Structure 1
Amino acid sequence: MIHSDWGDWLVRDVENANPAGVAIWYHGCNGFVVKGSAGTTIYIDPYLGLGDPPRTTRMIPVPFDPTDVEEADAVLATHEHTDHVDGPSQAPILANTGATFYAPDDSLAVAREDEAWTDEWDVTDEQLTEVAEGETFDVGEFTIHVEIAHDPDATHPVSYVVEHDAGTFFHGGDTKPTDEFERVGDEYDIDLAALAFGAVGRIPDKQTREPKRTRWYNDENQIIECAAALECERLLPSHWDMWKGLTADPTVLHHHAASFDHPRRLEITEIGDRVDL
């Protein structure tokens, strides 16, 4: 069972908000809550677990208990890794709200087969919807485009372009640079892009548990390469706060971005912070 270090104040903050356009809350790791002016609420990659210590050790608070979530229209997953698809973190949201879970095939396999969400929680199979690159669907006031992601550590990653009259939010999951981002940047007018950033560290190997040099996320140059190709106005670095041994300082990115046209601004956020489109 998940226990929140913060009680329910963040969930209530989201539910009580009435944004003029789009409000986006960062809840650590690569998790976000997106809420529009008409009240549509979307959770993206919410993860409230502690990892697998000592291999992966959570370094930030657990910001909310998923059973406290009473308003959600959709939960999106970018890929199949535990900190992006996790039954204890996400299934209670679906059970409480009737929201739809959108995810690529390998992520749905985790929900349906590995973790049996429909058996372990009050979740129906109709709530689990497969998506793939090139598809577009609507959730309330948002139009969501499924785009390519380049994450060599995942079996089928995707990214999401979330469009609203007030602006466009790009969530890249754990993507690294890809030539396809130039096309994405040309096709969409991206106001804010969330991209995973972290250090290279020595993390115990999953099988042998011996320390192994590990690069899971973009370094300083890679994240700016992604942002420049996407032509985003604002870059929000994510994931840098999460795992012991892979944490990083996002403020250094000011130097790396200085000579590029994009991003025009960095949004340095901490867990629990809100930004607006």
Structure 2
Amino acid sequence: MSKVDEITRESWIMSAFPEWGTWLNEEIEEEAVPPGNVAMWWLGCTGMWIKSAGGCNLSVDFWAGNGKRTKAGKLMAKGHQMANMCGGRKLQPNLRAIPHVLDPFAVKQLDAVVATHYHQDHMDPNLAAHVLRDLPGDIPFIGPLKAVETWVGWGVPRERCVVVRPGDTVRVKDVELVALDSFDRTCLVTTDGEQDIHNTCPNDMDDKAVNYLIKTSGGNIYHSGDSHYSIYFAKHGKDYDIDVAFGSYGENPVGVADKMTSVDVLRMAEALRCKVVIPLHYDVWSNFAADPGEIELLYELRRRRLEYRFHPFIWEVGGKYVYPQDADKRRYHHDRGFSDCFEEEPNTPFRSIL
């Protein structure tokens, strides 16, 4: 039988997906975080893998799903947050625009699954299934009420879940999670389908979404989930010492205010008094795709006049950021692999070609 005869659609999918295989899984496992530092990997959207110097592994908002896959449907579902926001129901062209960089079924070391809120692109049933079936110990699932209800609906035992509201703290090894107010107004217009005709979906933001301050020996990380800009960021900046802040940035379609703009991201960073601000979420949806270079340009235009005491860092999905080791970096570039490519054969002769 020839190679062509052996190939099927299923064999192609298994050989090509996930696009990064277990490369990033292995990198995270091998990483020895230097004392006084904290390592982070961007998993796409607002997904984050955080590893402390004490070996604590947190998965925050990881999602291994996709968006639209066919044009067969013509309308968004009734009650969809975007339909509620803009008043229209035409099908969104929200195609997943980034590769899957982490294999949820290849995760070997994990201490907590964390969610900022219950929207599809911030929680993952595949990781939940793997945690329950294959990983030892009672790894907790931490999130607001609606996130916990989603996990329980998938089959996660309620006793494995930790419901958090603003002000709650949860200790996981050498890391402390502080739940803070969310400003995700999209969550407030999100419904749960036909039942919401009778207003059964909670309208209390604290039940639907939270932000997190993640305290580590390497610094404090502020994860804002899908928060819009809020002047209340200033209170968080006064109440807490924040080193690195993540903000959901995107190019909002007409009629929609779902992501922070470049101005909002800089205003958030200034209000939080952070040292580094990192935009997220602009990568994942084709209809919200934005250029983070806009943030850089605006920052350079305004920083001398406004005396900013922070700077933006522009990441790449799948990339690693170690704080404070990488605190002065402004842009990420994946390892090119050439700087040490001759280490195995240091006496390799070179020949000049004219």
Same fold (TM over 0.5): yes
Give the equivalent residue in structure 1 for 2:262: 220
Across the aligned residues of Structure 1 and Structure 2, the Cα RMSD in angstroms comes to 1.9
Give the equivalent residue in structure 2 for 1:9: 23
Task: Tell me: CA distance 1:267–1:95, structure 2 relative to 1, closer, same or farther (3 Å).
Answer: farther
User: What's the offset of the Cα at 1:94?
Assistant: 4.8
5+ residue gaps, structure 1 = 119-123, 203-212
Residue number among 167, 192, 197 corresponding to 2:249 in the alignment? 197
Per the normalisation by structure 1, the TM-score is 0.88
User: What's the offset of the Cα at 1:214?
Assistant: 2.9
| Separation of aligned partners in 2, 1:63 and 1:93 | 18
| Separation of aligned partners in 2, 1:185 and 1:67 | 37
CA contact (8 A) 2:33 2:51 kept: yes
Give the equivalent residue in structure 2 for 1:276: 322
Residue number among 214, 237, 258 corresponding to 2:279 in the alignment? 237
User: What's the offset of the Cα at 1:263?
Assistant: 5.6
Deviates more, 1:25-34 or 1:217-226: 217-226
* 2:184 is the alignment partner of 1:151: yes
Residue number among 66, 82, 86 corresponding to 2:120 in the alignment? 82
Residue number among 36, 44, 47 corresponding to 2:60 in the alignment? 44
CA offsets 1:1-24 (integer angstroms, 9 cap, x no match): 994111001011111100112100
Report the residue type matching 1:145 in the other structure.
Answer: V
Give the equivalent residue in structure 1 for 2:155: 117
Residue number among 43, 52, 56 corresponding to 1:27 in the alignment? 43
Aligned-pair identity (%):
27
Once the two structures are superposed, the pairs formed by residues 229-268 of structure 1 within 5 Å of their partners are 229-257=271-299, 258-259=302-303, 260-262=306-308, 264-268=310-314
Give the equivalent residue in structure 1 for 2:102: 64
Give the equivalent residue in structure 1 for 2:148: 108
Give the equivalent residue in structure 1 for 2:170: 137
What SS does structure 1 have at the residue aligned with 2:186?
coil
| Separation of aligned partners in 2, 1:111 and 1:14 | 25
| Separation of aligned partners in 2, 1:94 and 1:261 | 49
User: What's the offset of the Cα at 1:129?
Assistant: 1.3
User: What's the offset of the Cα at 1:169?
Assistant: 0.6
Give the equivalent residue in structure 2 for 1:182: 234
CA contact (8 A) 1:176 1:223 kept: no
What SS does structure 1 have at the residue aligned with 2:227?
coil
User: What's the offset of the Cα at 1:261?
Assistant: 4.2
What SS does structure 2 have at the residue aligned with 1:248?
coil
Larger Rg: 2
CA contact (8 A) 2:22 2:102 kept: yes
CA offsets 1:217-258 (integer angstroms, 9 cap, x no match): 101111111111111100110001110111111121123333
Select the structure that is richer in strand.
1
What SS does structure 1 have at the residue aligned with 2:40?
strand
